[in-house]
Structure 1
Amino acid sequence: MKIKICGLSTEETMQAALDAGADMVGLVFFPKSPRHVPLSTACRLADMARGKAEIVALTVNMDLDGLSRINELVNPDWFQFHGEETPEACAAAKVMFQKKIMKAVPVSERADLEQAQFYAIVADMILFDAKPPKGSDLPGGNGVSYDWTLLKDLDLAKPFMLSGGLDASNVAEAIEKSGTTAVDVSSGVEREKGVKDCDLIRAFVAAARGATVAGE
C-alpha cells in the first residue's frame, strides 16, 4: 500500500507525514490552490523528504518552462499532472525530465474511466480523483468523493491511486471497495482549507496501514 499526503506546505506537517510513514509527499504548484507553495519553500520541503519519501510535484496545465524550473530546483521523483494535459504532453515531459509521471483522471461515473486507458500508455500511475463540484476552480482537493466500486477489478495495465474525499474514517472502506493499492489525501487531513493537521495526518496513515493488514 502506497500512501500519499498531498498539498504539504510547512516543515511541521512535512515532518509529521514523514514520521507517520507516508510513502509519497505532494507539493502543489498551482497559484489558485490554497496549498500552493513557492519554489523556495518547495525546495526546503523537498530536501526534508529526499531519501525518506517519494517527492511528487503537482502541476495544472503548466508549460514546459515552468516544469523545467521545478525539475531543476526541486528535483521531484514524480510529476503529477492534474489538469487537461494530453497523453502526448505527458509523454514529452517524461522523456524530457526523465521522471515518473502520474496523471489525474476525474471520475463521477463508469464512462469516465475510459480516458484512463489513453494515459496508461505513457503514465507510470493513474490517479482517480472525484470530478470537482460545479463552479470550483480547483481540479482537486475539494473533499468530494465518488463510487469507489467503479474501480474494482479495473484492468488498466498500470497501477492506480485512489483520491477524492478520503480521510481517516473512510479510507479503509475505500480500499476494500476499490481494490486499490495506493491512496492519496489532501483536504481530508486539514483542519481548515489548505492547513494540514499533524494529528489528522498520523490518523490517516495509521488507518490506511490498518486496512492493508486487515485485508491480507
Structure 2
Amino acid sequence: MRIKQRVRAKICGLTRVEDVHSAVDAGVDAVGFVFYPPSPRAVTASQAQSLAQYVPAYVQIVGLFVNATLEEVQTVLQSVALDVIQFHGDESPTECQRIANRVGRRWYKAIQVKADLDVVAEIEKYHQVGASAVLLDAWHPELKGGTGQAFDWTKFPKLDIPVILAGGLSPENVADAIKMTKPYAVDVSGGVESAKGIKDQQRILQFMQGVQRGSTQCEAK
C-alpha cells in the first residue's frame, strides 16, 4: 500500500542568504546546495557553510553532486553539515552506496527520464542498495538538472518507494503536477527564479501554496 501523506517540497540551487530565508519562511522541508561548478547555481563549500547557518532545525540540507569523487564529497562535509546527499550524475547504484556509506549520510539518486527508459526498473536498482528516495527529472543531452523542462508525467510510477518529482515545475503548474503524479515530494529550482541562481521570494511563496493545494486535492480523493 502506498504511503499517504502530505507532499514534501525542496527548493534547490540556493545561493543567497535572503533566498534561504524566503524558502524557510515559506515552509519548505528541505533546501538544496549545488556542488557542481558548471552549474550557474553552484556554491563552494565555504559559501554553503555560510548559508547553512540560516537553516533551522527540521529543515534538511541537501547537497547535490554530479559524478563527484568520495574525496570531493568528504571535503564538502568538512565544512557543511549536509543531512542528505543527492547524486545527480551518472553514478551507478554501487557507487552511490559506496560513497554514502563512507561518509555516513542518507542519499537519493536523480534519474533523467528518457523516452525508452524502464523507469520502475531503474528506480528499484537504487532503492535496493539503500536509496532513501529516487528523484525523476527531465532528460537533457548536456545539462544535469535545472533545465526548466518537464518529462512526460504519465510515466511517473505509483510505488511504495518515495519518488520525488522534478523538472519544469513552477507555481503555475505544481498543483496540477501533484494531482496527476501524487509524488512523495517535489523539487524546484528554476521555476522560482528571477534569474539563474537568484530566487524570487514571491514565486517561492506561490510555489509552496501550490504544493499545499495539490496535496489537499490528493487527500480529498
TM-score bracket relative to the smaller structure: over 0.9
8 Å contact 2:182–2:218 — kept in the other structure?
no
- How far 1:210 moved relative to its partner? 1.6
- The correspondence for 1:131, drawn from 128, 139, 154, is 139
- Residue 214 of structure 1 deviates from its aligned partner by 2.4
User: Equivalent residue for 1:141?
Assistant: 146
Aligned to 1:172: 175
Report the CA distance between 1:54 and its aligned residue. 0.4
- What secondary structure sits across from 1:169 in the alignment? coil
Structure 2 residue aligned with 1:117: 124
Deviations 1:179-208 (A, max 9, x none): 212000001001122221111111111111
Structure 2: gaps spanning 5 or more residues: 1-6
**Amino acid of the structure 2 residue aligned with 1:212:** S
Residue 130 of structure 1 aligns to which amino acid in structure 2? A
> What CA distance in whole angstroms lies between the structure 2 residues aligned with 1:152 and 1:171?
17
- TM-score (norm. length: structure 1): 0.93
2:18 paired with 1:15: no
Whole-angstrom CA distance in 2 between matches of 1:6 and 1:165: 13
8 A contact 1:43–1:73 mirrored in 2 = yes
> Does the aligned pair in 1 maintain the 2:16–2:198 contact within 8 Å?
no
Q: In angstroms, what is the RMSD of aligned CA positions?
A: 1.3
TM-score (ref. length: structure 2): 0.91
2:10–2:32 CA contact under 8 A, matched in 1: yes
Comparing 117-126 with 165-174, greater Cα deviation is found at: 117-126
Residue 209 of structure 2 corresponds to 206
Alignment of 1:1-216 (within 5 A): 1-109=7-115, 111-113=117-119, 114-121=121-128, 122-132=130-140, 134=141, 136=142, 138-153=143-158, 155=159, 157-216=160-219
Which amino acid letter does the alignment assign opposite residue 187 of structure 1?
G
> Which aligned segments of 4 or more residues in structure 1 are displaced greater than 3 angstroms?
none
Report the identity percentage.
38
Shift of 1:152: 4.0
SS in 2 for 1:111: coil
- SS of the residue corresponding to residue 131 of structure 2 reads coil
- Unaligned stretches of 5+ residues in structure 1: none
Q: Aligned pair count?
A: 211
